[in-house]
């Protein structure tokens, strides 16, 4: 997994609540058996005016000029600013894969859906929860100033605005450690293989019907 330490990134504002993972990456692109290549189809139904299917040459499609991701001022954005309950719905990890493939490294919102939130950490994408009024302020500042960038420091657990205002955010020690170091979580877990084996052996004795 790619590590995440600090980032100073351009901010793209997506001003909608309850953005679901079907919207982030529509179902037809889930037929891929790969982890990469989802970026061009991120928010496909909002981003293009025509219907997208896997295998199409996306450079030849009709772009929706009214969708924020297509605004020239937000090209190259690495921080996605969003509203409540971002990433709700389907468990598809293709959603963080598509955000990452497009170039986003951070998503900031007042709240996230649980499965999406968890999936982000497995892919070096940092989801940050900030209070609704702070997110509101960031939306206003992003709109007011072209080229608006935020500085995110995972070690310090802070988001800092261009004017120097700084906001702290929560992250569990385990997730922070894995993300800062880009660790393979399976490898870490297998350090406890003996414990898992012992637990399993005990369970097999106590509840044999679970192992038939």
Partner 1 sequence: MAQTLYDKLWHSHVVHEEADGTVLLYIDRHLVHEVTSPQAFEGLKLAGRKPWRISSIVATADHNTPTDHWDEGIKDPISRQQVETLDANIREVGALAYFPFKDQRQGIVHVVGPENGATLPGMTVVCGDSHTSTHGAFACLAHGIGTSEVEHVMATQTLTAKKSKAMLVRVDGQLGRGVTAKDIALAVIGRIGTAGGTGYAIEFGGAAIRALSMEGRMTLCNMAIEAGARAGMVAVDQITIDYLQGRPFSPKGEVWDQAVAHWRTLVSDEGASFDALVELDAGSIAPQVTWGTSPEMVVTVADRVPDPANETDPTRKSGMERALAYMGLQANTPISEIPVDKVFIGSCTNSRIEDLRAAAAVARGHKKAANVKAVLVVPGSGLVKAQAEAEGLDKVFVEAGFEWREPGCSMCLAMNADRLEPGERCASTSNRNFEGRQGQGGRTHLVSPEMAAAAAIAGHFVDVRTFA
Which residues of this chain interact with partner 1, rule CB under 8 A? 15-18, 20, 22-23, 26-28, 30-35, 45, 51, 54-55, 83-85, 88-93, 96, 111-115, 118-119, 122-123, 172-175, 184-186, 189-190, 192-193, 195-196, 199-200, 203, 207-212
| Residue 125 beta carbon to partner 1: minimum distance, rounded to whole angstroms | 11
Strand partners, 138: none
**In the complex, minimum distance from the CB of residue 17 to partner 1, in angstroms, rounded to a whole number:** 5
DSSP 6-69: EEEEEEEE---SS-BHHHHS-GGGGG-SSSS--GGGTTHHHHBSSPP-TT--GGGSPB-TTSGG
Query: Residue 13 Cβ, how far from partner 1 at the closest point, in Å?
Result: 13
The rounded Cα 12 to chain-centroid distance in angstroms is 13
In the complex, the smallest distance separating the C-beta of residue 5 from partner 1, rounded to whole angstroms, is 20
Find the angle CA(7)-CA(85)-CA(126) to the nearest 5 degrees.
Answer: 20
CB nearer to partner 1: give 55 or 65.
Answer: 55
Nearest residue (CB) to partner 1, 67 versus 160: 67
């Amino acid at each position: 997994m790619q590590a995440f330490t600090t980032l100073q990134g351009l901010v793209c504002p997506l001003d909608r609540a309850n953005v679901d993972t079907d919207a982030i990456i529509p179902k037809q692109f889930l037929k891929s058996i790969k982890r990469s290549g989802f970026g061009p189809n991120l928010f496909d139904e909002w981003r293009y005016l025509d219907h997208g299917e896997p295998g199409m040459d996306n450079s030849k499609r009709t772009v929706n000029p009214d969708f924020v991701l297509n605004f020239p001022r937000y090209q190259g954005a690495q921080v996605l600013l969003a509203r409540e309950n971002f990433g709700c719905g389907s468990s598809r990890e293709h959603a963080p894969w598509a955000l990452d493939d497009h170039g986003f490294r951070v998503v900031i919102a007042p709240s996230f859906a649980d499965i999406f939130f968890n999936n982000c950490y497995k892919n070096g994408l940092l989801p940050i929860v900030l209070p609704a009024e702070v997110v509101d302020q960031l939306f206003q500042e992003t709109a007011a100033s072209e080229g608006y960038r935020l500085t995110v420091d995972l070690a310090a657990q802070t988001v800092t605005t261009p004017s120097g205002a700084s906001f702290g955010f929560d992250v569990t020690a385990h997730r922070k450690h894995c993300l800062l170091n880009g660790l393979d979580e399976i490898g870490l877990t297998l350090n406890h293989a003996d414990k898992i084996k012992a637990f399993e052996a005990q369970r097999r004795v106590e509840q044999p019907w679970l192992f038939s």
